[in-house]
């Protein structure tokens, strides 16, 4: 059993530059998590062991980031009943569109919640994992609401030199 509630897995160490944003978001919300490199192509047994054992170890949500062919989120989802959130990592060749399409086009019956390409997707995966966990955790729900309120308050008003917007008639 682990203390982690969210498992963050990625296809290679180079994916950490993107996936660290999910980890930082979870840390800001005080959500225990773990990170692992689990390649669908290079370490399939490690992926199998991780995905099939995650729930028994206490993991409640898996965030899977992958680039290129991006099979990791779908393969993990095929081997666990836990929610899997897929983060397309930006690739050099196709700027992450290949990753996005690979993750989002799962066959019916194997759902993967697919987020945006790159940093925004990783942050949103952390927030979505928090929202899922908050359904059964009132204290986490309060932390998530406070985080969102702070985000809203952090948006500055338009500078005084900006033209006023008139309401649409």
Please check the confidence at residue 78 and state whether its pLDDT lies above 70: yes
4 or 163, greater pLDDT: 4
Burial of 58 (0-12, 13-18, 19+ CB in 10 A): middle
Span 23-33, pLDDT tens digits: 999 999 999 99
Quick count: other Cβ atoms within 10 Å of Cβ 57?
A: 13
- What is the spatial distance between Cα 91 and Cα 88, in angstroms, rounded to a whole number? 9
47 in Cβ contact with 74 (< 8 Å): no
Q: Look at residues 82, 127, 74 and name the one whose alpha carbon lies nearest to residue 101.
A: 74
Span 110-129, pLDDT tens digits: 999 999 999 999 999 999 99
6 in Cβ contact with 26 (< 8 Å): yes
| Percent residues over pLDDT 90 in the chain | 84
DSSP H helices, 54-96, are: 72-78
């Amino acid at each position: 059993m682990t203390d982690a509630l969210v498992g963050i897995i990625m296809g290679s160490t180079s994916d950490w530059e993107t996936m660290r944003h999910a980890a930082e978001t979870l840390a800001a919300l005080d959500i225990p998590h773990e990170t692992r490199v689990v390649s669908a192509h290079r370490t399939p047994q490690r992926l199998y062991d991780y995905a099939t054992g995650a729930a028994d170890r206490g993991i409640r949500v898996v965030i899977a980031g992958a680039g290129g062919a991006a099979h990791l989120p779908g393969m993990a989802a095929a081997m666990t009943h836990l929610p899997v959130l897929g983060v397309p990592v930006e690739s050099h060749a196709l700027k992450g569109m290949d990753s996005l399409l690979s993750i989002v086009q799962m066959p019916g019956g194997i759902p993967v919640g697919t987020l945006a390409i790159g940093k925004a997707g990783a942050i949103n995966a952390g927030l979505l994992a928090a929202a899922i966990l908050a359904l059964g955790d009132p204290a986490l729900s309060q932390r998530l609401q406070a985080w969102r309120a702070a985000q809203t308050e952090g948006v500055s008003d338009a500078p005084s030199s900006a033209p006023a917007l008139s309401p649409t008639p």
